[in-house]
Chains A and B, each alone.
Chain A
Amino acid sequence: MNYYENIVILDAALEDTGIDAAEKRITDLIEKMQGEVLKHERWGRRKLSYEINKHEKGYYLFFVFKAPPEAIKPLEELYKVFDPVFKFMIIKLRKKEIIALQNSLQAIEAKAAEQPAPDAVPDVAKDVAADAVEGVAAPSGADA
């Protein structure tokens, strides 16, 4: 099992129901391939830094999942034929990134235990802030 990080850019013109459906289809495929989605975020509609296939805006979806390496091929095949997706990137996480990820997952769990209903999807700004905190916390943990 490897850890992967996946960004998918969907057509920004898509309705919310379409985005839900697309997200479900992706998570379903990951789970079908014995994978497990650890984290999923919606960054929402963003302006692209450059034009891709005549699109100026895109709806960003972000997944972190654990899956066997065989699961990546079918996932890429899906993205190639799946109409709402026009750009995607799957990245295998390395050791240090996995450690940071596990720390952040634990932090989220701890937070969820404190407050029973923080169901809101964290935005990118929050995520970046959380990363900064980890950056400070992680090396001290490594020393101990």
Chain B
Amino acid sequence: MVQKGKGSEHVKYKRFMRKKFCRFCAEKTPFIDYKDTRTLKSYITERGKQLPSRMTGTCARHQRELTEAVKRARNIALLSFMEK
């Protein structure tokens, strides 16, 4: 870090963050089930919008699968499009 003189100022403001990881990769989930609303709910906001992967740490592939699952669950009224 000493070599990168620029970074030191930056580091001062950086809070400690635990490294994010993709839960589906870690657990080796074979596929993301749209019926499993309990899992899906942890990837949507209180308002019912999907969380971006930069917040959850989900990898690109699983984020795509997750999107499909959320859309399916919404279609069949297991999840809502918008929480009032």
Contacts and interface: CB of A to CB of B under 8 A. Distances in A.
A9 B76 contact: yes
Given A128-B36, A131-B36, A89 B29 contact: no
A126 interface: no
Contact of B33 (A9, A99, A131): A131
A6 B77 CA distance: 14
Contact of A99 (B28, B30, B35, B78): B30
Interface of A: 7, 9, 48-50, 52, 58, 87, 89, 91, 94, 96-97, 99-100, 124, 127-128, 131, 134-135, 138-139
Contacts of B36: 128, 131
Identify the interface centre among B28, B36, B38, B77: most chain A CB within 10 Å of its CB.
B77
A61 to B, nearest CB: 11
Interface in B9-63: 27-31, 33, 35-36, 38
A102 B28 CA distance: 18
B67 interface: no
Contacts of B81: 50
A143 to B, nearest CB: 10
A135 B27 contact: yes
B30 A49 contact: no
